[in-house]
A and B are shown apart, each in its own frame.
Chain A
């Protein structure tokens, strides 16, 4: 009897394991390729480059049949995946940098490989000068990240030509000031009997609101830089944290006024970036504030609405004055220190440098390339690409870099930003939803919290002082170079 029972258990386990083994065998058979000697793992977390990376990898595998690349596109849980991989020393061979940990910390923990072998002086010379940024692409003289984009990035105003045409508004009449935007938007809403709005936002993506408010705000408070990653809300003229600025208060009140005048799409507070883009493309609104990458989403038929009849202009500002955005080379490819296929990885990186910037980065039209690549009108991925690029060139400017001035500010900034509970973008949304009655008071409250966090971060990092955040020789709207930094020292 006893034997019988054990026998049944054994048989059951055998069937189960046989089942597992069969499955594994099939998979192996499916992926079996006699030429492949090495398989590289690659994590991509940039949705705008997914399809371009896929076809690039196909080309690469065709040219290098001995190397296969397994790409995984990371979704919303990408950060958790990175955290786990870092904890277990299991980062893939190649990966797009995640916002989980500063580059210096990744290097200190022995997670990322020095790429100096790939980036010889000759190779580095092919890239735009501004892409070699401390704690993003380089640490001192050493390269740790292959930069994908030039770092130029800004929010602009997209306009729907179909909607403008319907209400007799020409492209020359695209608003440049707040008042003009309000008037045009009210006109559209009235003439459409309330079915079409002037402006739509993706305010659910509070980071996007944060970005456009900071950038628009530089036309009122130019001394407030616009980065949300480096020393957020720190005034580089006096080294103080400011949230309750005139710019923030005025922008919040202006958008509330647009909402109350039916100039702003009420759905804006519930929409994320992609839904707002779809609404804009569907003709629900004439204008949309989006990043330079949104042009590639608009024309994309698979991941976007596949809409072509649009134009792009700088965002309107209070008095039509220009605005600027920080230029920061954040995104790039990194290599795991634990890779066992360093030679093959180098082959991949070299191939990317040779072909990737035209095929992947310029091909997507989402960003300007880190490598000096001229994209002619015929080669542009879509007709508006060069318009976006020229707005980027006008608006995106290098600002002081505390990381370059003092490497220890990396830890301090991480401590400071870890103590922030509220973003200006989230507050704007709260105000538009009626959850905040007095934006100034709410901004003051958030400022108090941010000041405390900033001061304790400075106290907790002995080699860092407020002086590291004061740049007396910086003139907003003028590029701040390494020479300026040296002059300051």
Chain B
């Protein structure tokens, strides 16, 4: 008995050692490459700093004060919200429709379509941005095609008109994340027990009734995950914006991440000067906004779940 206990303790110790070995690299990377830069960005935000000089010009909250008084900062915040809202609605909704279609038993060529929709996910975002920039340019493929067909005489300024540019950005951003969302939805759909569908069928429920009363209610937990991921990803839109519109026209598609980049590494041929301290303040605000939105969303999600649990318990009683 005592021997077995000793063996068990040794085994636990050995497992613990292995756990430490496997956790250590990730922990080191987290502290070194994530936590340290986050802490330092808070520190930099209280300094007037160009990113290369000694960090000795403490300015207190003045970077934040300037940030709050700058219309361009609030403009980029608003553009980020538009982007998050647009991409989330389209990517989450359309991917659900696709997942439901691709999950039906009768549908043929599922693997082919899943691959097609997943391709943009594995393609580098910057490359997508560059290609789409060419496609939607004044003399791009889209304009050339519709001009050849004779739909329009003059080219459409897809990327030079603020509303159109934002629409293109949202559409491309949504298309890029469609495949990943579709995979999440499919995993949710495939975890629903087939017995439930069989019972619904026995009760005489058709496709739509089964969808609204069986499938969608059971997908609520996965919806919460997809929404949260879409929102957080949207808040950090950078590479696509940088390569597709670069914040144009006249900063009307500049997102918060791009705003931070432009001020952090602005030094260059136009004589502007890098303002790492100010950009850090903008980065801190971006982090806070993301946190607030995530907390609000998490709270709403919790409330909805509690409500539906109460509702379900009431029904049981």
Which A residues fall within an 8 A CB radius of B? 2, 5, 9, 77, 79-80, 82-83, 86-87, 98-101, 105, 109, 204, 206-207, 210, 227-229, 232, 266-267, 269-270, 414, 417-418, 420-421, 423, 425-427, 429-430, 433-436
B155 cross-chain contacts in A, Cβ below 8 A: 266
Q: Are A266 and B138 in contact (CB under 8 A)?
A: yes
Q: Select from chain B the residue with minimum beta-carbon distance to A433.
A: B249
B250 cross-chain contacts in A, Cβ below 8 A: 426-427, 429-430, 433, 435-436
A109 cross-chain contacts in B, Cβ below 8 A: 53-54
Q: If A83-B51, A101-B52, A267-B138 touch, does A433 touch B160 (CB 8 Å cutoff)?
A: yes
A417 cross-chain contacts in B, Cβ below 8 A: 271-273
B6 CB-CB contact with A under 8 Å: no
Q: Are A229 and B271 in contact (CB under 8 A)?
A: yes
Q: Are B249 and A2 in contact (CB under 8 A)?
A: no
Contact of B52 among A82, A210, A425 (CB under 8 A): A82
Closest 7 CB pairs of A and B: A430-B250, A207-B270, A435-B250, A228-B271, A433-B249, A86-B52, A418-B273
Measured in the bound complex, the distance between the Cα atoms of B160 and A430 in whole Å is 9
Q: If A207-B269, A426-B250 touch, does A79 touch B160 (CB 8 Å cutoff)?
A: no
Name B91-118 residues within 8 Å CB distance of A: none
B193 CB-CB contact with A under 8 Å: no
Q: Are B270 and A423 in contact (CB under 8 A)?
A: yes
Quote the shortest CB–CB distance from A259 to chain B (angstroms).
Answer: 11
Q: Are B274 and A270 in contact (CB under 8 A)?
A: no
Residue from A86, A109, A435 having most chain B Cβ neighbours under 10 A: A435
B159 CB-CB contact with A under 8 Å: yes
Measured in the bound complex, the distance between the Cα atoms of B250 and A440 in whole Å is 16
Please, what's the 1-or-0 string for B102-139, where 1 marks a CB less than 8 Å from any CB in chain A?
00000000000000000000000000000000000111
Please, what's the 1-or-0 string for B160-180, where 1 marks a CB less than 8 Å from any CB in chain A?
111000000000000000000
B275 CB-CB contact with A under 8 Å: yes
Q: Select from chain B the residue with minimum beta-carbon distance to A85.
A: B52
Measured in the bound complex, the distance between the Cα atoms of B250 and A433 in whole Å is 8
B257 cross-chain contacts in A, Cβ below 8 A: none
Measured in the bound complex, the distance between the Cα atoms of B246 and A429 in whole Å is 13
Q: Are B269 and A267 in contact (CB under 8 A)?
A: no
Q: If A83-B51, A417-B273 touch, does A435 touch B252 (CB 8 Å cutoff)?
A: yes
Q: If A228-B270, A229-B271 touch, does A2 touch B14 (CB 8 Å cutoff)?
A: yes
29 contacts between A and B (CB under 8 A): A80-B265, A83-B51, A99-B271, A100-B267, A100-B274, A109-B53, A109-B54, A207-B270, A266-B138, A267-B137, A267-B138, A269-B138, A269-B160, A270-B137, A270-B138, A414-B50, A417-B272, A418-B50, A418-B273, A418-B275, A421-B72, A423-B272, A425-B270, A430-B249, A433-B157, A433-B250, A434-B249, A435-B249, A435-B252
Measured in the bound complex, the distance between the Cα atoms of B252 and A423 in whole Å is 16
Contact of B270 among A2, A77, A206, A267 (CB under 8 A): A206
Q: Are B274 and A79 in contact (CB under 8 A)?
A: yes
Quote the shortest CB–CB distance from A247 to chain B (angstroms).
Answer: 18
B contacts with A: majority SS: loop
Q: Select from chain A the residue with minimum beta-carbon distance to B162.
A: A435
Q: Are B268 and A79 in contact (CB under 8 A)?
A: yes
Q: Are B157 and A105 in contact (CB under 8 A)?
A: no
B70 CB-CB contact with A under 8 Å: yes
Measured in the bound complex, the distance between the Cα atoms of B155 and A77 in whole Å is 33
Q: Select from chain B the residue with minimum beta-carbon distance to A228.
A: B271
B157 cross-chain contacts in A, Cβ below 8 A: 266, 433-434
Measured in the bound complex, the distance between the Cα atoms of B275 and A179 in whole Å is 42
Measured in the bound complex, the distance between the Cα atoms of B155 and A207 in whole Å is 26
B272 cross-chain contacts in A, Cβ below 8 A: 417-418, 420, 423
Interface size range of chain B in the complex: 35 or more
Quote the shortest CB–CB distance from A34 to chain B (angstroms).
Answer: 39
Quote the shortest CB–CB distance from B26 to chain A (angstroms).
Answer: 17
Q: Are A270 and B160 in contact (CB under 8 A)?
A: yes
Q: If A421-B72, A433-B250 touch, does A79 touch B270 (CB 8 Å cutoff)?
A: no
Measured in the bound complex, the distance between the Cα atoms of B162 and A267 in whole Å is 16
Q: Are B270 and A210 in contact (CB under 8 A)?
A: yes
Measured in the bound complex, the distance between the Cα atoms of B270 and A227 in whole Å is 10
Measured in the bound complex, the distance between the Cα atoms of B98 and A369 in whole Å is 63
B162 cross-chain contacts in A, Cβ below 8 A: 433, 435
Contact of B269 among A87, A99, A101, A429 (CB under 8 A): A99
Q: Are B52 and A83 in contact (CB under 8 A)?
A: yes
Measured in the bound complex, the distance between the Cα atoms of B155 and A395 in whole Å is 38
Measured in the bound complex, the distance between the Cα atoms of B138 and A22 in whole Å is 51
Residue from B21, B70, B270 having most chain A Cβ neighbours under 10 A: B270
Q: Are A100 and B50 in contact (CB under 8 A)?
A: yes
Q: Select from chain B the residue with minimum beta-carbon distance to A82.
A: B52
A100 cross-chain contacts in B, Cβ below 8 A: 50-52, 267, 274
Q: Are B265 and A267 in contact (CB under 8 A)?
A: no
B248 cross-chain contacts in A, Cβ below 8 A: 204, 429, 433
Q: If A86-B52, A266-B155 touch, does A79 touch B265 (CB 8 Å cutoff)?
A: yes
Q: Are B271 and A207 in contact (CB under 8 A)?
A: yes
Measured in the bound complex, the distance between the Cα atoms of B46 and A257 in whole Å is 46
Quote the shortest CB–CB distance from B52 to chain A (angstroms).
Answer: 4
Q: If A100-B267, A109-B53 touch, does A434 touch B161 (CB 8 Å cutoff)?
A: yes
Quote the shortest CB–CB distance from A458 to chain B (angstroms).
Answer: 16
Measured in the bound complex, the distance between the Cα atoms of B51 and A24 in whole Å is 33
A80 cross-chain contacts in B, Cβ below 8 A: 265
Measured in the bound complex, the distance between the Cα atoms of B276 and A461 in whole Å is 20
Quote the shortest CB–CB distance from B184 to chain A (angstroms).
Answer: 33
Q: Are B160 and A105 in contact (CB under 8 A)?
A: no
B51 cross-chain contacts in A, Cβ below 8 A: 83, 87, 100
List 4 additional contacts besides A99-B271, A229-B271, A425-B270; criterion CB under 8 Å.
A9-B21, A417-B271, A433-B249, A435-B162
Q: Select from chain B the residue with minimum beta-carbon distance to A284.
A: B139
Measured in the bound complex, the distance between the Cα atoms of B140 and A86 in whole Å is 42
A227 cross-chain contacts in B, Cβ below 8 A: 271
Measured in the bound complex, the distance between the Cα atoms of B18 and A9 in whole Å is 11
Quote the shortest CB–CB distance from B70 to chain A (angstroms).
Answer: 7
B271 cross-chain contacts in A, Cβ below 8 A: 99, 207, 227-229, 232, 417
Q: If A79-B268, A207-B269, A421-B72 touch, does A270 touch B159 (CB 8 Å cutoff)?
A: yes
